[in-house]
């Protein structure tokens, strides 16, 4: 079994005014212009919701934090 592999995944804030399909496409194709948020940024916030496709590794990343 292969252990956890650090992906240095980046996150971005949801644009509340955008359509869901546009936000999803944007998250896959265009990186965040400011480099996005890392885990350190997320862990410094009081409340965070992480959205992602099933099987994208959310649970494993949380377990390793």
Average pLDDT score over the chain: 81
pLDDT at 20: 75
Of 64, 23, 65, 18, nearest to 40 by C-alpha is: 65
Higher-pLDDT residue of 38 and 23 is 38
**CA dist., res. 58 & res. 51, Å (int):** 8
Of 45, 60, 55, 54, nearest to 13 by C-alpha is: 45
- Contact between 38 and 11 (Cβ < 8 Å): yes
Instruction: State yes or no: pLDDT of 32 exceeds 70.
Output: no
**CA dist., res. 60 & res. 62, Å (int):** 5
- The average pLDDT across 4-24 equals 79
Instruction: State yes or no: pLDDT of 30 exceeds 70.
Output: no
């Amino acid at each position: 079994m292969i252990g956890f592999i650090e992906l240095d995944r980046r996150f971005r804030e949801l644009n509340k005014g955008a359509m869901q399909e546009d936000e999803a496409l944007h998250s896959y194709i265009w990186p965040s212009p400011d480099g996005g948020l890392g885990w350190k940024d997320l862990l410094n916030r009081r409340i965070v919701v992480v959205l992602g496709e099933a099987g994208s590794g959310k649970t494993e990343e949380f377990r390793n934090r």
